Amino acid sequence: MDYGNSIKKWEEFNVGDSTKYAKTITSADIVIWCGLTGDMNPIHLDREYSRKTQFKDIIVPGIYVLGFISATLGKILGSIYASQTVRFTKPVYVNDTISAESTIIDKLENKRMLKLHTRCANQNEETVLDGEALLYIPRP
């Protein structure tokens, strides 16, 4: 696959640049994710069980939501996702629309790494995930 000029050079990245991704989560998404990962926690799959918990319904696996951050960083073609810290701040439910955004907050020149603030919010603009990522930008 030829990415042509879509791979940015180090000099083209600026503090404040951001990338976004959004998706409405379906029951099928959760079933597929749980099947692929082997995460069979009933809080993600069993409505009867989930209704008896503090969440009152099925919740989306947090690591699935974190994948939306990976989707934002994947838009920075040629980069390598080096690390991520994350704090899950609010549960995500089926039919929530999640908007993920990664924003450059620092350029670590000596390491060719970008430090990014990462955040996911639901359709009510409530933060459901917050953290920081490091992205390595290799030389062409």
DSSP 48-90: HHHHTSTT-S-B--HHHHHHHHHHHHTTSTT-EEEEEEEEE-S
> Is CATH 3.10.129.10 the classification given to domain 17-25+60-136?
yes
Q: What is the pTM of this model?
A: 0.90
What pLDDT was estimated at residue 6?
A: 65
Per-residue pLDDT band at 118 (split at 50, 70, 90): very high
- Sorted by where each begins, the domain ranges of the chain are 17-25+60-136
What digits encode the pLDDT tens for the residues 4-40?
A: 456 788 999 999 999 999 999 999 999 999 999 999 9
Task: Report whether pLDDT(3) > 70.
Answer: no
